[in-house]
Amino acid sequence: MADLEFFFDCSSPWTYLAFHNVQPLARELGVQIRWRPILVGGVFNAVNPTVYATRSNPVPAKMAYSARSLQAWARLAGIAINPAPTVFPVNSVKVMRGCLALEPQGKLVEFARAAFESYWGDDLDIAQDDVIRRICATAGVDADALLNAIARPAIKDVLRANTDELIARGGFGSPTFFVRGDEMYFGNDHLPLVRASLQAQLSPRRQR
């Protein structure tokens, strides 16, 4: 089975697009996705602080274009994205820990999808426990159990380790894909290259 890793943080709209778009691609190619929750703020702090400078001193023309581009991608994907949520940037640490806690139960994808929709679709602050409970209800998850799980040191350690690993492997933001373990691609717009790389990897196996 081809290996596709997806490092992600629910606080990014472009990651929401990639999360939505990578799943049918993986199904089509028969590839399993290894989901790797991270804290993108930790990545920015360590290796990409220019993100903060850009937010503090935005280029108006570039920001306007980016907003139009985001909506065009959202329409193409068939999802709704609010480009200006009330709380931005949002503290996503609890939901990203939640993704990790739910992975052994096979509920990571449902929970992450509900978190993306709550923040980018419904303009809810996913840092708040009442919103997390709503996300849990949507995903069919026991909210009390989840809130207890995300407070455990082991879950915190895995999220930190994933973030550190992405940095060590050359990553600088979310979403980041890895094919074959060392081919890195950044951003929703690089999914065609992810597809091409996966197809090249799969072709020799299918010819045997």
User: How far apart are alpha carbons 116 and 107 in whole angstroms?
Assistant: 14
Q: Can you give the length of the chain in residues?
A: 208
Can you spell out the DSSP letters for 118-158?
IIIIT---TTSHHHHHHHHHHHT--HHHHHHHTTSHHHHHH
The chain-wide mean pLDDT, for the chain, equals: 95
What order of strands is seen across the sheet that includes strand 3-8? 32-37, 3-8, 176-179, 183-186
- Whether the per-residue pLDDT at 2 is higher than 90: the answer is no
Dmax (CA) for the chain in angstroms is: 55
Fold annotation for 3-206: Glutaredoxin (3.40.30)
DSSP class of residue 182 equals: T
Q: What is the helix (H) or strand (E) element at residue 6, kind and residue range?
A: strand 3-8
User: How far apart are alpha carbons 75 and 111 in whole angstroms?
Assistant: 23
- Whether the per-residue pLDDT at 52 is higher than 50: the answer is yes
Question: What's the token pair of residue 177?
Answer: 């894909």
Q: What is the helix (H) or strand (E) element at residue 186, kind and residue range?
A: strand 183-186
125-177 residue pLDDT tens: 999 999 999 999 999 999 999 999 999 999 999 999 999 999 999 999 999 99
Reported confidence tier of residue 206, pLDDT bands at 50, 70, 90: low
Could you tell me the residue ranges of all domains in the chain? 3-206
User: How far apart are alpha carbons 24 and 31 in whole angstroms?
Assistant: 10
| Residue whose C-alpha is closest to residue 127's, from 141, 113, 107, 147 | 147
